Amino acid sequence: MRPALLGKTIEELTEVALSVGLPKFAGKQLAEWIYLRRATTFVEMTNISGKGRTALAEQYCIGRKQPVAEAVSEDGTKKYLFETAEGQFVEAVYIPDDDRATICVSTQAGCKMGCKFCMTGTLGFHGHLSATEILNQIFSIPDSERLTNIVYMGEGEPCENINAVLRSIEIMTAPYGCQWSPRRITVSSVGYIPGLKRLLQESDCHVAISLHNPFPTERQEIMPIEKVYPISDVLALLKQYDFRHQRRISFEYIMFGGKNDSLRHANQLRRLLKGFDCRINLIRFHEGAEEKSNTHLSLQGSSPEQMIRFRDYLSDNGITTTIRRSRGEDILAACGMLVNALQEKE
């Protein structure tokens, strides 16, 4: 299989150019064609010599692969299925919303974090995606040119695949790449500290932490990561960084009726996040996930009224809190529901 150019840095593209007998400046030309002009063939690269294009085509490929399946929700959300180089399948979700258009990308095939409320975890772990495969989800959907935001919130734990994630972010934000502001990118994590530390140090993107319960023993019951990397350690790390200006920190909180939605939980959440300039996103639990997860916990979603009371308590106590609107639930595209259902229909 020929190496892909999508996912290579400017230094690597320059090495590619030199390796096929092109001048050094052709590395910059390759970057422009691949990342700005979104070329899918070497034939399009008209300012590169014909001989050079032939040599490139013989030894390399662009690295773009179209989705193999698509599903469209009644609310306009679209879910795409991509095949990886290893023959696995991953899903990406396109979410249009007035003047915004967001893509939720996967970073791993499946996931090993084992969160008890998440359908993706039932897939098991089948490997890390390369930067090429992460970027391909962004570049190869039909609405790619309309995108305004990227969230790394699809299949997998982004901070466990931090090398590929950081490389993809570099290419999206670099002057030689897509030239996006890092403020248009959010990376989610359950609190995998080794990768989270690198994300905080090596990027300026927004960060979203999956919290879901402020009490360690209760959190561990639904999120095994708590045993290895306690939320207290995650917060201690986050406190070393400044989120008072352009970079934002948010906390994701799926609400389970009778499990984490009481005033006791809201009050402890307020105490836990004291001193953070942050936002809490309350998320309705999608009970379809319970059917797939085979968990013994019998989870169910909080009532809309309880979610409102929970939100108002936190907001009244100085923490900006919103209830996130679910999108794409009818096509299993909402939070925690990515389970390659498109593949099952093939």
Cβ-contact 179, 10 below 8 angstroms: no
Residue 307 CB coordination number (10 Å) = 20
CA distance 251 to 272: 11
Nearest to 13 by CA among 65, 69, 63, 51: 63
CA distance 188 to 342: 24
Q: Which residues are tagged catalytic?
A: 91, 335
Beta bridge partners of residue 150, listed in sequence order: 103, 185
Residue 194 CB coordination number (10 Å) = 11
Quickly list DSSP for 150-212.
EEE-SSS-GGGGHHHHHHHHHHHHSTTTT---GGGEEEEES--HHHHHHHHHH---EEEEE--
